[in-house]
Amino acid sequence: MRGIYKLYGQGAAEVRALDGIDLDITAGEFVAVMGPSGSGKSTCMNILGCLDVPSAGEYLFRGVDVASLDRDELALLRRKFMGFVFQSFNLLPRTSALANVELPLIYENVSRKRRKRLALDALRLVGLEDRADARPNQLSGGQQQRVAIARALVTEPPFLLADEPTGNLDTRTADEIMHRLVELRNERDLTIVMVTHEPDIAMYAERVLFFVDGRIQRDGPPAEVLT
């Protein structure tokens, strides 16, 4: 990111959600994004994930200027290169864990037989292959989040964006999810950017960005940024 601004409103009502952000994230990094409400952390995440566009500035993803891509190309970039995990799980309630994980593969026109194999492999990654037929209401919160992680990884994206992935989980379950994310990152050489408001969760990352008023106030190892 170079000189990234995100503005809302005009004149006296103008709000700078991002105020001139310069940011480099390299392949394989695990970055936690923190800051008070309204600091710009979620706006930054949305731009990184190509879910929103900046008002000014340049965002290069793997050397490609994202602003040069049309709507279909942006959708393709998200499908091929990015996986998303959200606080609320966003699972389809009336379908099995397996069917939920298969969903991104349907958009890729993957055959039914191969979809099932890849989805089972993804569930195996998160330790839930034995619950493939269970619906979300038959799973604990931690299990639902693991299904969501499997769904995000089933297309083998190099970049995972996680927005408060442990926000709805108890402390023990949150630690289990974070340990698995770290393991998956190491196994797959994933790049992970995670928004969190919990310092103990941010400690799992190797780098923390702390936002204040649309700017990165601190950037460094968790032990330095969070003390």
For the chain, domains (ranges, CATH) are 2-90+157-225 (3.40.50.300)
Q: What is the pLDDT of residue 227?
A: 80
Quote the pLDDT of residue 12. Answer: 80
Please state, in angstroms and as integers, the Cα–Cα distance from residue 161 to each residue in 48, 98, 180, following that order.
8, 21, 15
pTM for this model (two decimals): 0.90
Q: What is the DSSP-derived secondary structure letter of residue 139?
A: S
Cβ-contact 150, 101 below 8 angstroms: yes
Which pLDDT belongs to residue 31?
Answer: 97
Mean pLDDT by 10-residue block, N- to C-terminus, for the chain (227 residues)? 94 90 96 95 94 95 93 91 89 95 90 94 92 95 92 94 89 90 90 95 96 96 91
- Taking the C-alpha atoms of residue 213 and residue 18, their distance in angstroms, rounded to an integer, is 8
What pLDDT is recorded for position 136? 95
State the Cα–Cα distance between residues 103 and 26, nearest whole angstrom: 29
